[in-house]
Structure formats: C-alpha cells, structure tokens
Amino acid sequence: METVAAVQMKNVTKRFGTVIANNQVNLELDRGEILSLLGENGSGKTTLMNMLAGIYYPDGGEIFVNGKEVSIRSPKDAYELGIGMIHQHFKLVDVFTAAENIVLGLKEAGRLDRKVIAARVREISSRYGFDIDPNQKVYDMTVSQKQTVEIVKVLYRGADILILDEPTAVLTPQETDKLFAVMRNMRDDGKALVIITHKLHEVMDVSDRVAVLRKGEYIGDVETRDTNPQKLTDMMVGHSVTLNIARPKMEKLTERIEVQHLTVKDPEGVNRLTDVSFTAYGGEILGVAGISGSGQKQLLEAIAGLQTPEAGSHILYKDSDGREHELIGRNPLDISRMGVALSFVPEDRLGMGLVGNMDLTDNMLLRSYLNGRGAFADRKAPKKLAEQVVKELEVVTPGVTTPVRKLSGGNVQKVLVGREIAMNPSVLMSAYAVRGLDINTSYTIYNLMTEQKMRGVAVIYVGEDLDVLLELCDRILVLCGGQVSGLVDGRTATKDGIGLMMTQLHGKEGKQ
C-alpha cells in the first residue's frame, strides 16, 4: 500500500486585506478516511477548503496532492486533480434534470447522449447507495435530493477527494443519517472525505479523525475514537481571553420586551425559531450566542416587524407607563408610529440597514424621511446628523456626500450604528455589530452599546465571539437550531459551558 497522503497542506496562509483567514495551516488527508474540520464561525475552515477547490489561491505555503506539489488556480484545476467540493449553497440549474446538471460544463466530445449519462449516474448511485432519479427536474427536488445531485456531480467528474461544506445544516436527522451512510460507503471505496461541521455529535458519529481550527490557526488533530465532545469543545473555543471591556451594572432594570412562544417558519416551511421565550430588560445587554444560522436573524427581524411569526407567538413591548403593546403583525413603520423607539443594526449592513448607492445624508434620512409635512423630504436635519456622526464616531469619509458603499466596512458600520443610536431608542438590537471590524472600531461599538445600556436602553447583542459576549453582556441567551438551549449570567458563565449549549449537548440533541 502507498503511504503517501491524498492531500497535504504545508504552512498554508491566506489573507484578506489585513485579516488573516488562515495562518500557516498544516493539514493532512488520507485515502479511506473521513476527516472532520471543526471550528467556530470565522475560524477559516471554508477558506482553507476553498483553496483546495481552486476558489481561492493561497498567499503562502504549499499544497501536495498524492505527494506532488500542485498549484490549484481554478475549480477546473481542482477537478483535474480529483478534488471536488460540495458547497453550502447549491449551484444547480432549476429547470434542468439531475442528469443535465451533472454533465453541465463538461466538455466531452460527441453528442449529448442522455441515456448513457443516465446509466452512468445510476451506476454511481447504486455503488454508493444514493437515491437519485436522473430525469427528475431540480425544481421538483427536496433540499436533500439537490445535495445528492451535487455530490454525484462531483463523483461523475472522477473526484476521489471530496469536501463537504456544512452538508447537514439543511438536512433533517433522517436525511443526515442517509448522507452519513453514503459517506461511509465512499470512504470504504478508498475515497478521501472532508466534512466541515459545527455539530459535535455529527463529528463523533461520522468521522475517523478531527482537525480543529481556531481563529485561522491550526490547533491540532485527534483520532475520533480517542476524544469526546468536551475535549473537542476545549480545542475549538480555547481558553478565555481577557479583553477588558467595561461592564458596569445597572441597579434598576425595567422590563422592555417580552418574547413568548415565538415560532418563525421560513418560506420553505422549515422552522427557523421554535417556541422561543425570554425577556429583555432596559439597562442590560442581553447577548445572543449560537452557531450562525441558529435563528438569530429571524429573532431580531421578528421583533423589528420584518417577519411573520406563527400563530401563538407574542412579542410584547412594555412602555415606561407599564402598558403592553403587541408588536407582531405590525411593520417597522407601525411600530415607530406606536411610539416605540426600536433601533436595529441588521447583519446585512448594505443590503438592509443602509442604501449603498446613497450618500451619508440620504442614509440618515432613511429613518426620518417621513418627518415634517408636505411632499418634500427635509435633508437639513439628516445632513446635520451625518456631520455629527462623522465627527463623534470618527468616520473616515471624504464627506457626507460620499455614497456609503465606497466607505470601508468599519466606517459603514459606524454610520449605521450612529444613525440607530441617534433615534434615541428604548430598545437597541444589533447583529454581528463588529464583524469585519478592527480592534479599535470594535471597542468603539462595545462602548456605544454599554453607554446605551447605562441610559436604560434594552440592548440585544447578537454576537459570534464568545470572549466578547462573556465580557460585554449581562445575560446570554444561547440558541441552538432555533431553540433556546440556555440563558446564563454573563458574569458567571464559562466559555466551555456556552460552547456546549451552542451544540446542544445537554440532554436534547439537534433540531427535531
């Protein structure tokens, strides 16, 4: 038997601007094994695999395939080396059949013989136990079937090194079991597989070996049989780092938002939030932790009036006189007309919070354009506000007439946060407020959040960095698969504890 590894990455480094996504990563993958690549959000797992798939090109380091050094400059190069990646977002043509999608882009001589293709597809399917009808149109397929097409597409091209990027995120437990069964068949056939996942029980279930990344660094690898979820969590989150974020305690808390039995379905009818209940108080920062896509977006949007929750859900706003107002069934304009000052810094800054093609003044106008009588929008106050935000938050911009899309990420965020705080909110929600920002800007944002808290605002802070959540927030709500898996005190909770709740190891398993 050959002892040479299928893939070997040596000191691979990838930078995006000043951010180092992968720093000197070493990784080895053998034939006949399933390797789990484990890490928190933003730890660089997908970036690392994208370099194998030819989507990114490394800035440093070497990649060996079957012992030979290679340079993978495009997905085509990757295919020629037998590497195929199944991405999180499927890239299929809806109106084509499975077989047509599978051969799409292949430059084979001769005419397109659908029967031959279908026969080959069936042959691959029966070998590994896929359940696929070559003549079914993609628009008729379930998510799991679409994923099967993606996998077969890669196998059809002769790939023997397969990378699956969070394949189970969209699957039901039964579909996940089926996927794992075919993965094992492929492994037994001598293929090399990498699975990227956040879910520890899946790691334990399917993989032979686990490699852990943390903040772009390679932490190490272990045989799955020699480890347990607790050890893996330790490797994944590391030891707590002290950040020194000031966290004064407010003595007087007032009930602001009470969420009761909140259930939200997405357009496909899948539950994104299931029976979520909690209370947010004025004078505290409530952190929301969870793996990305655990329902954080739906939670904030439901409160902001941008989602249609299922019947039985309640979101009650309590004003300073103690009166309760139901927010469900109202759009953002209705909510502000009720006198509820609700500020929201959404995750998608330019796609939801701001208008990229408009300048700073016009973006300030977004929340106040209806003010004043008459048909014309008043731009004087927004212009003043824009100038004030630029000055107070030190926004780097040529002027208030520059389109915001031309600003850097941090400055875009300052404009957005500045506008939302200027509304004098009683509730301030933010999603991934510091994503992509440098340390200084991040601290500016943390301080602004704390300042608002001290003014008696109910701050809801959705974050991904556990160290920050633990130092900034008074309480932390942990979501897992759209359900509340824990509500802990930010001053006493530990990183490990929250890490475990995020992957829901306390009793219940995954989503139903």
Partner 1 sequence: MSTNSHEHSEPLFRISKRTGISAPKAWIIRGIALLMALVVSGLVIFAIVKLNPTKVYIAMFEGAFGTPKRSWVTIRDTMMMLCIAIGLAPAFKMRFWNIGAEGQILMGGIATAACMIYGGKAALPTPLLFALMLVTSVAAGAVWGMIPGVFKARWNTNETLFTLMMNYVAIQLTSFCVSKWENPYGSNSVGIINQLTQKGWFPAIFGQPYTLNVIIVMALTVAMFIYLKYSKHGYEIAVVGDSENTARYAGISVRKVYVRTMALSGAICGIAGFLAVSGASHTISTSTAGGRGFTAIIVAWLAKFNTFVMILISFLLIFLEKGAIEIASRYNLNDYASQIITGIILFFILGSEFFINYKVNFRRRHN
Q: What is the dihedral of CA 329, 334, 337, 338, to 10 degrees?
A: 0
Q: How far is the CB of 64 from partner 1 (least distance, A)?
A: 10
Site for partner 1 in 385-414 (CB under 8 A): 406
Closest CA to 439 of 415, 475, 403, 467: 467
Among 334, 394, 451, 489, binds partner 1 (CB under 8 A): 334
Burial class (CB in 10 A: 0-12, 13-18, 19+), 438: middle
Instruction: Give 65 or 395: the residue with its C-beta nearer to partner 1.
Output: 65
Burial class (CB in 10 A: 0-12, 13-18, 19+), 370: exposed
Minimum gap (Å) between residue 169 Cβ and partner 1: 22
Where are the alpha helices (H) located in 157-219, listed in sequence order?
Answer: 173-188, 200-206
Give the per-residue contact string, 43-82, with partner 1 (x = CB under 8 A; - = no).
----------------------x--xxxxxx---x--xx-
The answer to whether 38 contacts partner 1 (rule: CB under 8 A) is: no
Q: Based on CB atoms, which residue is closest to partner 1, 204 or 350?
A: 350
Query: 464: closest CA among 491, 492, 437?
Result: 437
CB nearer to partner 1: give 406 or 508.
406
Residue 278 is classified by DSSP as: E
Binding-site member from 61, 229, 356, 436 for partner 1 (CB under 8 A): 356
Residues belonging to the chain: 512
**In the complex, what is the shortest distance from the CB of residue 332 to partner 1, in angstroms, rounded to a whole number?**
4
Closer by beta carbon to partner 1, 176 or else 430: 430
CB neighbours (10 Å) of residue 32? 15
Residue 231, SS3 per DSSP = helix
Spatial separation of the C-alpha atoms in residues 482 and 295, rounded to whole Å? 5
Per CB under 8 A, 347 contacts partner 1: no
* Residue 417 lies near partner 1 (rule: CB under 8 A): no
491 Cα distance to chain centroid:
26
Q: How far is the CB of 315 from partner 1 (least distance, A)?
A: 17
CA–CA gap between residue 281 and residue 218 (Å, rounded): 40
Q: Which of 49, 154, 235, 354 binds partner 1 (CB under 8 A)?
A: 354
Determine which residue in the list 240, 308, 331, 388 makes contact with partner 1, applying CB under 8 A: 331
- Using the rule CB under 8 A, is 11 a contact of partner 1? no
Choose, by CB under 8 A, the member of 351, 388, 401, 506 that binds partner 1.
Answer: 351
- Which two structure tokens, joined as six digits, stand for 486? 């824990």
Kindly list the residues in this chain that would bind partner 1 in the complex (CB under 8 A): 65, 68-73, 77, 80-81, 304-306, 331-336, 344, 346, 348, 350-358, 362, 365-367, 369-370, 375-377, 406
